[in-house]
Amino acid sequence: MELLEKTDQVHEVLLKTFEEKINRGDAIEPRDRMPDAYRKHLMRQMSQHAHSEVIGMQPEGNWITRAPSLRAKQILLAKIQDEGGHGLYLYSAAETLGITRDEMIAQLHSGKAKYSNIFNYPALNWADIGAIGWLVDGAAIVNQVSLQRTSYGPYSRAMVRICKEESFHQRQGYEIMAKMMAGTKDQNDMAQDAMDRWWWPSLMMFGPHDSDSPHTSDAVKWKIKRNTNDELRQKFIDKTVQQAEVIGLTIPDKDLKWNEAKGCYDHGAINWDEFYRVVAGQGPCNKQRLAHHKKVHAEGAWVREAAEAYRIKKEKQLLHN
């Protein structure tokens, strides 16, 4: 009985130390003791974030060979390469929590782990590449700038690095949209059509309303989230509406209206049925995205095996020297 009491006391002290660190705004590092629930919350969010970065390479990758100029192709290639790197940073940061890359990939392939809703929509033409860069990366920036102050050290540091590259992504997308809006009537129509198709799914990227979010209260309590889903969504709307107006695009929301009293835009209702349908796997491209990831993962097995064999060989050499 005494040992049990001692264990409980130690547990209490460790939990108190963790909470004091969180309250002080100190970073929690991999070697720190942390509640299992905190660790699991981060494993879930960080692995899904990493999956999103990698799956997000697919819709844009389809347009590398169709880019309208060499410059456009170079920019798109650089952006997609960045996204792959963001995935690697995030998988590596998630591994510090004690989950392996293989486990995370298996969760993605089994459907246990999600990735962002937005990547289940098709990129139909070049204007979509502009809309993805401007709206999707624009939304990601709003979310990720906030995540730079997340309480888990490795995640926060990954965000600082990723945000530096994300702003180039948003700007290149906006440049494509601005060029098309300064172009022919057909180009204007293409850009507006892309705006109409990508606006609402981009708002859904921030997650359900705070009142419907099962994770936000813990995330805010543990300072994993420094802003809630609705706060970040509002921030994105307020800055993007002005950007759209500058280049002559219309936001596809008849209820969008500046609210002087609140100092922000009121907007129409989001179609959460569509959100949950897409997140549940019934989006336009869910099956294609996952099938492609599984195919390429299998095709790349030999690279992973060769890298692992090389690592083991080097380790043996070091041990014998």
Between residues 193 and 231, which has the closer beta carbon with respect to ligand 3HC?
Answer: 231
Give 10 or 37: the residue with its C-beta nearer to ligand 3HC: 37
Binding mask 146-185 for ligand 3HC (x = CB under 6 A): --------------------x--x----------------
Q: How far is the CB of 294 from ligand 3HC (least distance, A)?
A: 19
Residues 89-128 that bind ligand 3HC (CB under 6 A): 114, 116-117
Q: From the CB of 28, what's the least distance to ligand 3HC, in Å?
A: 17
Residue 70 to residue 64: CA distance in whole angstroms: 10
Residue 71: C-alpha distances to residues 64, 74, 77, 268 (Å): 11, 5, 10, 38
Binding mask 65-94 for ligand 3HC (x = CB under 6 A): ------------------x--x--------
Q: Are 191 and 141 in contact (CB under 8 A)?
A: no
Residue from 129, 205, 247, 290 that binds ligand 3HC (CB under 6 A)? Answer: 205
By CB under 6 A, residue 228 contacts ligand 3HC = no
Give the position of tokens 């049990």: 4
264-266 and 257-259 strand pairing:
antiparallel
Q: Which two tokens stand for residue 25?
A: 């705004």
The Cα–Cα gap between 86 and 105 comes to: 16
Q: Taking Cα atoms as reference points, which of 45, 38, 7, 81 lies closest to residue 213?
A: 45
Binding to ligand 3HC (CB under 6 A) within 39-58 occurs at 44-45, 48-49, 52-53, 56
Residue 172 vs residues 45, 74, 103, 111, 203: alpha-carbon distances, Å: 27, 11, 35, 32, 20
The binding site for ligand 3HC (CB under 6 A) comprises 44-45, 48-49, 52-53, 56, 83, 86, 114, 116-117, 136-137, 140, 143, 166, 169, 204-208, 213-216, 219, 229, 279
